[in-house]
């Protein structure tokens, strides 16, 4: 993923919520060093004592993190130094994993110096967590980079491929009877999940209808041309105040040139393609559009209920487009849901809250998810920047309603 980048690109933090690419590289390495090597390798000596401070994101249990808004000011360590850090830690983790194969478990040393019992399972579960954590930052690296490139008047390209052109499928609503449904991830022992997907539990879903595909640029443009951004009654009060104050009049990467709309994609600035899904909209815009369209956003459980049973399939990061593609199936005619995974994360109306009986991971890793459960909304599915192996029906992504720099889009729902 770093191959198309110049060294200069690795250091830029174009806004407070984003991070420089090299910080992502260092932080995901720090995660293995802090949560795998330090506790499980006896006598482990950190690569650089300052890195604990510099590359800690938000784990207050591991000392005070370097202030997030200033990550872009760290010209040192250099990219080369960070890649060396990465290699050293990767090798140490590999060595630890190799040692696990040999006997029952490693000598274990806690970060506070005390030695405790550890097991093969403890180590493996943390390594797996570290890999999934890395996948999350891989996606963030792309969205943060896009924010940087998309605000540079030179509009640099990251990749060259554009999603194939395709006439958009007609939008139809597919009914779902709802009822008492099991949601959330499966019991321990099966495939990986984050703590926020647990416990699996029963919910009551009222009958609903879900759109067969994502909202397109063409449809969103109709909303704009109908003065969608100028009518307060379409907006949540917070959303109206925010878009007025920010001067929003279009999705994040739309640019007006001589009366025509263009969209910045990771393959450059191009005339707006009406067949592609609208992307980089906030939840505020998603709510306003849905209301204008006589619909609403689905809840996260409606989405999950509808998705149950489908294989995660779609336009993931492996496709190499780094942009959502037009609807590919014939769902409009066959009554099947399309674009559930890949393309864009789909805003839901559900606030990000703990499941009944939720328990965070023990210790410092408990800061991974639980402490963010306020004021955010759940997004479901996965995007064109997500690795295929990262997508699943119980996955809960979450961002604040005004956030637009993720590959976030809109799927509509309706009451029956």
Of 336 and 414, nearer to a second copy (C-beta) is 414
Closer of 298 and 332 to a second copy (Cβ): 298
Residues 144 and 322: their CA atoms lie apart, in Å, by 13
Closer of 79 and 93 to a second copy (Cβ): 79
- Residue 201 vs 333, nearer CB to a second copy: 201
Per-residue b or e along 337-370, where b marks 16 or more CB atoms closer than 10 Å to that residue's CB: bbbbbbbbbbbbbbebeebeebebbeeebebbbe
DSSP SS3 for 296: strand
Instruction: Kindly state the tokens that stand for 175.
Output: 């009914």
Beta carbon nearer to a second copy, 235 or 321: 235
Q: Minimum Å distance from CB 78 to a second copy?
A: 5
Q: What stretches of 331-400 show up as alpha helix (H) in DSSP?
A: 331-334
Least distance (Å) between residue 204 CB and a second copy = 4
For a second copy, the binding residues (CB under 8 A) are: 6-12, 14, 50, 53-54, 58, 60-61, 66, 70, 72-79, 148-149, 151-154, 156, 180, 201-204, 206, 232-233, 235-240, 283-284, 287, 349-351, 353-354, 356-357, 366-367, 371-375, 401, 415
CB 168 within 8 A of CB 213: yes
**Residue 331: CB minimum distance to a second copy, A:** 25
Residue 59's Cβ-side half-sphere holds a number of Cα atoms within 13 Å equal to: 18
Closest CB 237 distance from a second copy, rounded Å: 4
Q: How far is the CB of 168 from a second copy (least distance, A)?
A: 29
Closest CB to a second copy among 333 and 371? 371
> Between residues 88 and 388, which has the closer beta carbon with respect to a second copy?
88
Q: Which is nearer to a second copy, 55 or 321 (CB)?
A: 55
Q: Cα separation of 281 and 125, whole Å?
A: 35
Torsion of Cα atoms, 384 then 389 then 395 then 397, to 10°:
-40
What's the CA angle centered on 20, arms 18 and 23, to 5 degrees?
Answer: 110
Q: How far is the CB of 274 from a second copy (least distance, A)?
A: 28
| DSSP H or E segment with residue 134 | helix 120-150
Least distance between a second copy and beta carbon 16 (Å): 12
Residue 11 Cβ vs a second copy, minimum distance, rounded to whole Å: 5
Strands (E) across 121-257 are located at 173-176, 179-183, 201-205, 208-211, 254-257
Exposure string of 116-152, with b = 16+ CB inside 10 Å and e = fewer, is: eebeeebbeebbebbeebbbbbbbbbbbbbbbbbbee
- When computed from its CA atoms, the radius of gyration of the chain, rounded to whole angstroms, is 22
């Amino acid at each position: 993923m770093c191959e198309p980048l110049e060294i200069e690109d690795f250091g830029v933090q174009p806004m407070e919520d984003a991070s420089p690419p090299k910080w992502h590289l260092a932080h995901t390495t720090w995660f293995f060093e802090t949560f795998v090597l330090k506790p499980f390798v006896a006598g482990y000596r950190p690569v650089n004592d300052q890195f604990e401070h510099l590359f800690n994101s938000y784990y207050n249990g591991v000392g005070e993190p370097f202030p997030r808004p200033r990550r872009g000011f760290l010209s040192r360590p250099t990219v080369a130094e960070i890649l060396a850090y990465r290699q050293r830690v990767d090798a140490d983790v590999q060595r630890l994993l190799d040692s696990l194969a040999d006997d029952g478990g490693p000598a274990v040393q806690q970060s506070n110096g005390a030695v405790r019992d550890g097991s093969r399972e403890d180590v493996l579960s943390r390594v797996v967590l570290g890999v999934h954590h890395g996948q999350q930052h891989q996606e963030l690296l792309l969205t943060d980079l896009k924010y940087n490139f998309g605000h540079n008047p030179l509009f640099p390209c990251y990749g060259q491929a554009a999603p194939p052109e395709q006439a958009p499928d007609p939008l139809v609503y597919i009914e779902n009877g709802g009822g008492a449904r099991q949601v959330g991830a499966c019991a321990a022992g099966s495939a990986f999940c984050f703590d926020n997907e647990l416990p699996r539990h029963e919910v009551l879903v009222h009958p609903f209808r879900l759109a067969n595909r994502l909202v397109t640029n063409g449809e969103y443009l109709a909303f704009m041309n109908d003065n969608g951004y100028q009518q307060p009654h379409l907006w949540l009060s917070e959303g109206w105040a925010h878009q007025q104050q920010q001067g929003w009049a279009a999705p994040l990467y739309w640019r007006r040139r001589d009366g025509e709309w263009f969209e910045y994609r990771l393959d450059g600035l191009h005339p707006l393609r009406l067949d592609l899904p609208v992307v980089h909209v906030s939840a505020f815009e998603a709510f306003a559009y849905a209301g204008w369209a006589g619909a609403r956003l689905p809840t996260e459980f409606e989405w999950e209920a509808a998705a149950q049973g489908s294989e995660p399939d779609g336009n993931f990061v492996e496709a190499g487009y780094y942009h959502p593609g037009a609807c590919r199936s014939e769902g409009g005619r066959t009554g099947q849901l399309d674009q559930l995974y890949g393309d864009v994360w789909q805003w839901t109306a559900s606030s990000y809250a703990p499941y009944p009986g939720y328990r965070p991971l023990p210790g410092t890793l408990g800061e991974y998810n639980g402490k963010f459960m306020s004021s955010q909304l759940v997004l479901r599915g996965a995007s064109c920047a997500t690795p295929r192996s990262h997508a699943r029906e119980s996955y809960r992504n979450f961002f604040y309603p005004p956030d637009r720099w993720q590959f976030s889009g809109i799927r509509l729902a309706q009451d029956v």
